[in-house]
Amino acid sequence: MTPAISLDGITKRFPGVLANDDVDLTVERGTVHALLGENGAGKTTLMNVLYGLYEPTSGRIVVDGTERSFEKPQDAIDAGIGMIHQHFMLVDSMTVAENVTLGTEPRKWGGLAIDRDQARQDVVDLCERFGLAVDPETRISELSVGVQQRTEILKTLYRGTDVLILDEPTAVLTPQEIEELLSVFELLTDQGKTIIFITHKLGEAMQAADEITVLRDGRNVGTVDAEATTREELAELMVGREVLLEVETSSYDPGAVTLSVDDLTVTNEQGIDVVSDVSFTVRRGEVFGIAGVDGNGQSELIEAITGLRRPQAGVIELGDREITDDDRRERIDQGMAHIPADRHERGVVMDFDLVENGLLGSQHAEAFVNNGRIDWKRTREHTETIIEEYDVQPPNPDASASALSGGNQQKFIVGRELARDPQLVVATHPTRGVDIGSTEFIHERLLELRAAGVGVLLVSSKLEEVRGISDRLGVMYEGEFVDTVDPEAVTEEELGLLMAGEQPAQEVSADERE
């Protein structure tokens, strides 16, 4: 059988960057093919080439045995290729049917008006054909993220897509929504559609795909049968060395409270409460994790705790001191370190060299000041220590932050923050954009601090991360803590229900039934 897609020797260069290096990829028709690799491996660039967003520097695109050239996405759509990006392209105020048919609406009265009844019926027929349960009359703003994603899939199917590309499709889904999406994959391939999905999650690739292609540093380092491989083999392909996937945690013996948050309310720029009456504590020698789908108030909560946003109400205490009204510098002086969610906006100054970036947040500290002026010799030594201990590449303190990959920027930020000798570390998505080996290293550093009696507040959209290293786990939904659970005792299904704002069903004992 002729493959649905063959990419032969695809190379894509940007100024100063080789994003794809002579990549070959074959995708069989009617299969699910995972494109696996760390951030920056070239996955999305390769698929953007296939979808016509980028023209390849060199190489061939073959669709159903015919060589094609795509100058724009419409060319790829005309060839039966559709792509769903991480950020959905839907109009919130419009209905499902209006979004699905937008730009290609059926017409009536000689083309003078949109035939809305026919558009609705077309979407109903499409839902029935592919087993996708979506109400065509519901407005997008009223839908869950999972159903919005189904609407995006319907949009591509309505345009005659045979090959569907999804970029990190599970990034904002609950575990239940992920299972539903994988069921949709099966329904589509049963009807002859071909799925390519981009991911960096090992388990997800193994569960959903028929074949898995791994990219590393812009190159195809192997294609494997999903049923014949292991997580360990995939991790080694991704990183280029053997990786410890499970981090061992020591016994849980927390000390005194180091962070106390009481009845905290935070509003956004529109004056809407995005965090409502949240209370929790973090103790010395524990990792307190916060789980939840992105956008449920986690970012605003962390900004209030770290001094980047003023809360509307409530009290924050660090150790025995109230810090609610303290600024960021005062919180650092009191022993709070912060690994920010956005490394470019909050973590580094891209045009500064690493010596200057190593000083950020500590420019008034005694250790780096001599007679009222910055001691650059001591600052350079401090930076060189971070570079060495955290294996920052290139190991050049005079290199600008912009010269580092995202993963190396993240390692540098983590090293700088953990070097503050903190009593509390606020770690927000600390392993976002770093490879598996660096993830392993960062987890080990956080657990070393825990063992030394430091409190760690961990926010992450990665369930395996917050479940794997947290001692207690708070779940946020629509700005509130819906529950605090034991990560070892809660199941993924129960956690997913909590993340969706639902309480898991309670088991009833035999005595209670009687």
What was the pLDDT predicted at 366? 86
- The angle at the Cα of 117, spanning 112 to 118, to the nearest 5 degrees, equals 75
Beta carbons within 8 Å of 222's beta carbon, 6+ residues apart: 213, 214, 237
Q: Which CATH code is given to the segment(s) 5-239?
A: 3.40.50.300
3-state secondary structure 130-178: HCCCCCCCCEHHHCCHHHHHHHHHHHHHHCCCCEEEEECCCCCCCHHHH
What is the C-alpha separation between 34 and 208, in angstroms, rounded? 8
Amino acid at 434: V
**24, 7 Cβ separation under 8 angstroms:** yes
- Strands 113-114 and 273-283, how do they pair? unpaired
Q: Tell me, what's the pLDDT at 143?
A: 87
- For residue 382, give both structure tokens: 């401090």
Return the structure tokens found at 70: 């795509």
Return d(Cα 454, Cα 442) in angstroms, integer: 15
Residue 304 near residue 266 (C-beta atoms within 8 A): yes
Give the number of residues written for the chain: 514
Distance between CA 244 and CA 478 in Å, rounded?
Answer: 35
Which one, of 188, 258, 178, lies nearest residue 464 by Cα? 178
Domain ranges in the chain with CATH number 3.40.50.300: 5-239, 250-335+422-504
Q: H-helix or E-strand containing 59? A: strand 58-63
- Average pLDDT, consecutive stretches of 10 residues, N- to C-terminus, the chain (514 residues): 94 89 96 87 92 96 95 94 87 92 86 87 90 89 87 91 91 79 91 92 89 94 94 85 66 91 93 94 96 89 95 96 94 94 88 94 88 92 93 89 82 92 94 75 90 95 86 94 92 86 60 40
pLDDT at 514: 39
Output the six-digit token pair for 37.
Answer: 């690799």
Give the integer Cα–Cα distance in Å for 351 and 70. Answer: 36
> Nearest Cα to 424, choosing from 248, 294, 271, 280?
280
CA distance 15 to 3: 33
CB atoms within 10 A of CB 45: 21
Nearest to 173 by CA among 154, 147, 197: 147
Interior/surface letters 297-314, b for 16+ CB within 10 angstroms, e for the rest: bbbbbbbbbbbbbebeeb
C-alpha angle 470-502-133 in degrees, rounded to nearest 5: 120
For the chain, the C-alpha Rg in angstroms (whole number) is 25
CA distance linking residue 167 with residue 44, whole number of Å: 7
Topology (CATH) of 250-335+422-504 = Rossmann fold (3.40.50)
pLDDT digits (tens, 9 = 90+) for 189-248: 999 999 999 987 888 899 999 999 999 889 999 999 999 999 889 988 887 777 666 666
Q: Cα–chain-centroid distance for residue 218? A: 20
Q: Encoding tokens for residue 402?
A: 């912009």
d(CA 495, CA 464): 11
Burial of 343 per CB tally in 10 Å (0-12, 13-18, 19+) = buried
For residue 34, what are the β-bridge partners? 197, 212
Residue 231's alpha-carbon distances to 197, 205, 208, 209, 244, in angstroms, are: 18, 10, 14, 13, 10
- In this structure, are residues 166 and 198 in contact, taking their beta carbons and an 8 Å threshold? yes
Run of H or E residues at 449: helix 436-451
Per-residue confidence (pLDDT) for residue 252, from 0 to 100: 80
For the record, the structure tokens of 251 come out as 């016994």
